Amino acid sequence: MNSLSAPGLIALVDCNNFYVSCERVFRPDLCNKPVAVLSNNDGCIVARSQEVKDLGIKMAVPVYQVQHLIKRHKIQLFSSNYALYADMSERVMQCLEPYSPQIEVYSIDESFLDLTAICEHSSTAYAQQIKKSIYRATGIPVCVGMGPTKTLAKLANYAAKKWQKTGGVLDLSDPVRKEKLMRLVPVNEIWGVGRQTTQRLQLMGINTAYDLAIQPVESIQAQFNVVIARTVMELKGIACLSLEDIAPDKQQIVCSRSFSRRLTQYHELAEALASFSSRAAEKLRKQHSVTGSISIFIRTNAHNENEPQYQRSIRMVLNQASSDSRKIISIAKKLLQEIFKTGYRYQKCGITLGHIRPAAISHQADLFELSGHQQNKASQLMLTMDNINQRFPKGIAISATHMTNSWQSPVEYRSRHYTTNWDELPLVKCH
Interstrand relation of 35-38 and 76-78 (parallel, antiparallel or unpaired):
parallel
Q: What is the CATH number of domain 253-360+382-391?
A: 3.30.1490.100
Angle at CA 83, nearest 5°, toward 246 and 332? 80
Residue 174 pLDDT > 90 = yes
* Paired strand residues for 293: 317, 354
Q: What is the pTM of this model?
A: 0.76
Q: What's the rounded mean pLDDT across residues 38-62?
A: 92
In percent, the amount of the chain with pLDDT more than 90 equals 67
* Residue 412: partners with Cβ closer than 8 Å, 6 or more residues away: 42, 77, 79
**What pLDDT is attached to residue 1?**
47
The topology (CATH level 3) of 10-15+85-236 is Alpha-Beta Plaits (3.30.70)
CA distance 121 to 244: 26
**391: three-class secondary structure by DSSP:** helix
Asked if the model's pLDDT at residue 5 lies above 80, the reply is no
Q: How large is the greatest C-alpha to C-alpha distance in the chain, in angstroms?
A: 70
What CA–CA distance (Å, rounded) separates 128 from 144? Answer: 8
What does the pLDDT average to over 109-122? 90
Q: What is the C-alpha separation between 11 and 150, in angstroms, rounded?
A: 8
- In the chain, what percentage of residues exceed pLDDT 70? 90
Tell me the per-residue pLDDT of 318-370, one tens digit each, with 9 for 90 and over.
Answer: 988 999 999 999 999 999 999 999 999 999 999 999 999 988 765 555 555 55
Check residues 392 and 199 and name the one with the higher pLDDT: 199
- The sign of the CA dihedral 224, 225, 228, 234 is positive
Q: What is the pLDDT of residue 3?
A: 45
Q: What is the mean pLDDT of the chain?
A: 89
Between 252 and 375, name the one with better pLDDT.
Answer: 252
Residue 286, sorted as left (phi over 0), alpha (psi -120 to 50) or beta, turns out to be alpha
What is the residue type of 342? T
Mean pLDDT of 196-220: 96
Predicted pLDDT of residue 154: 97
> Domain 18-81's class?
alpha beta
Q: In the prediction, which pLDDT does 406 show?
A: 66
pLDDT digit string (tens) for 146-158? 999 999 999 999 9
More reliable by pLDDT, 77 or 320: 77
pLDDT at 425: 87
- Say what the pLDDT of residue 242 is: 86
DSSP state letter for 58: P
pLDDT reported for residue 243: 83
Domain ranges of the chain: 10-15+85-236, 18-81, 253-360+382-391
In this predicted model, what pLDDT tens digit does every residue of 230-272 receive, in sequence order? 999 999 999 999 887 566 677 889 998 888 788 999 999 999 9
- What 3-state class would DSSP assign to 367? coil
